[in-house]
Amino acid sequence: MLTDGVQRIDHVAIVVRNLEASLRFYRDTLGIAPSRVLDFPQEGVRIAFLPMGGPGGSEIELLEPLNPETGVARFLEKRGEGLHHICLQVADIDRALRELQAEGTPVLDAVPRPTAEGRGIFVHPKGTSGVLLELVQRADAESDIDDTTTTP
């Protein structure tokens, strides 16, 4: 069991073929304006962050692959648009990884990776009833996450 537990649902990630086309629905139809849109070259995606639930609320993340060689692009070609993963926030990602590994949970990362929010790991769908699960430790406000932010 995770010592610190899960703090909240951080985000739900949806893979899309065309970010601008998807924003026409989420932004223009549902009225959910992105808080930021950025290219995240470490994972080969462009991300639109759609805040939900007020300050400190969860987000919807729209993920558009930037090139066909990425894992997200392969996911999109194999499964089509839709739910990619659910992300849960934890206080200490290093501890969470150690505890999951000790319990034999199938994790996809040997060490936490940089994420658009801070640092995270992915848990294989084999261990989560078929859903790709991300655990993230959010960076503080003074993080130096390398991204290219664009205006929504």
Domain 8-139 has CATH 3.10.180.10: yes
- Tens-place pLDDT, residues 9-21: 999 999 999 999 9
Helix (H) or strand (E) holding 138: strand 133-138
Alpha-carbon span 115 to 55, nearest angstrom: 20
Q: How far is CA 60 from the centre of its chain?
A: 9
What is the side-by-side strand order in the sheet with 148-150? 113-114, 118-123, 133-138, 82-89, 8-15, 59-65, 45-51, 36-40, 148-150
**Any idea where the domains of the chain sit in the sequence?**
8-139
Q: Convert the pLDDT of each residue in 93-143 to its tens digit.
A: 999 999 999 999 999 999 999 999 999 999 999 999 999 999 999 996 333
Verdict on whether the full-model pTM lies above 0.85: yes
| CB-CB contact of 27 with 53 (8 Å) | no
Which structure tokens are listed for 121?
Answer: 């790991």
Give the per-residue SS3 of 35-54. Answer: CEEEEECCCCEEEEEEECCC
